[in-house]
Amino acid sequence: MKTKLSFANPAKQNEKSRLQIFEAIERVVYSGNYILGSEVQDFEIAFAEYIGARNCVGVNSGTDALILSLRALGIGHGDEVITPSHTAVATVAAICTTGAKPVFVDVDLDTFTLIPELAERAINRRTKAIIAVHLYGHPCDMDRLLELVDRVGIHLIEDCSQAHGAEWNGKKVGSFGSVSCFSFYPTKNLGAIGDGGAVLTNNDELAERIRLIREYGWDLNRTSLEISGVSRLDEIQAAILKVKLADLKKSIERRNEIAMLYRNGINNSEVILPTTSINAIHAFHLFVIRTNIREKMIKDFSRLEIFPGIHYRKPVHAQPAYLKYQPMDGDSLANTNHLAATVLSLPMYPELDESDVNRVIEGINNVQS
């Protein structure tokens, strides 16, 4: 019987570090310190150093990282934030949660990331920020986006939830914008065993403000200086993440090796392979192909016990909760709509061996329209 292959397998990733993870959990349990203690502080320091940022603030999730970042930048009712619609709902939900309006722009078909020229056209006097989503692990064009936000005087927020370890011109994503937001959802390149997230910034004052609003607006004396909820990275999750951070570089290298095997082995005229910009190191959180015979491919794969994913079948602007945020030009999201109908995420995680990868390749190459 063939082993099932899914687009992600966090259990296999955790098995690799099982003993160290159990030791980390036991350390926290016996410490008696369970909320915002030394484990969170140690991980924040280590992750900031890995990314190359001055500050890291651990929070409850990647979604909360975006919400707190927007709040800390003073973005809310009456403001607009430019973002792609071809992204996880979390990106847009965070904007709406603050009361701001998402303004959708199209993405590039090759890199799946926001097109800077279209972002520039969407800017008006209400625009306060661009959220650049490094989707699937491919960096956005940071050169053009940084030039744009500097010129017009708005903020650049990096959504790095799928891009741990990705680089642009030799510099880690997450170190460019006013703030950057990471998710540690279990399937991510750096995944917790539960929820988790972080905000990184090179602005010390902004980091202090985010620390304030992640916990009731408290100062050091637990006096609420403003109304806020709570969003804390858990001590146990922080301890687990620090264990797994030690293997992240090797994990990214293995993801790129698997991507190369796919690129060299897949030979089907019905398939368009992902590309990587010459300026980028792709983190390959997902290996996403495009095909017009997606449903046929999924059906044929299931017979081989291969279960790919679709990220994302319905773009955010087409979902019922967000229909009121339609772009003015109905054709302006043509690439986004095309991707929704054609993208397919192949199995991609470091624990895949060559026989697993070859099984996927053979399955693709045998699918005919």
Which residues on adjacent β-strands are paired with residue 201?
55
Distance CA 348, CA 366 (A): 20
Q: Which of 39, 28, 36, 75 is nearest to 59 (CA)?
A: 36
Which segments of 200-352 does DSSP mark as H helices, in order? 204-213, 235-245, 248-265, 294-303, 334-342
Element (H, E) at 197: strand 197-201
> What pLDDT is attached to residue 369?
73
> What pLDDT is attached to residue 326?
87
> What pLDDT is attached to residue 60?
98
Q: Which of 156, 145, 143, 161 is nearest to 65 (CA)?
A: 161
Element (H, E) at 317: none
The dihedral of CA 199, 200, 205, 208: what is its sign? positive
Helix 18-31 with 235-245: angle, nearest 10 deg: 150
Flag residues of the chain having pLDDT under 70.
1, 328-331
pLDDT in tens, 129-166: 999 999 999 999 999 999 999 999 999 999 999 999 99
> What pLDDT is attached to residue 220?
87
The dihedral of CA 276, 280, 283, 286: what is its sign? negative
CATH class belonging to 5-9+248-365? alpha beta
> For the chain, how big is the Rg over CA atoms in Å?
21
> What pLDDT is attached to residue 2?
77
pTM: 0.96
Residue appearing with tokens 């081989």: 304
Q: Which of 286, 260, 305, 298 is nearest to 349 (CA)?
A: 286
Distance CA 239, CA 197 (A): 13
Distance CA 52, CA 172 (A): 7
- Of 3.40.470.10, 3.40.640.10, 3.10.105.10, 3.30.470.20, the CATH number of 10-245 is 3.40.640.10
Q: Could you give the residue numbers annotated as active site? A: 188
> What pLDDT is attached to residue 368?
82
Helix 18-31 with 38-51: angle, nearest 10 deg: 140
Ordered by start, the domain boundaries in the chain are: 5-9+248-365, 10-245
Distance CA 128, CA 110 (A): 27
> What pLDDT is attached to residue 331?
61
Residues contacting residue 158 through CB under 8 Å, at least 6 positions apart: 131, 132, 134, 140, 173, 174, 176, 177, 179, 180, 181
Confirm if 347 and 360 have CB atoms less than 8 A apart: yes
Name the residue type at position 149: V
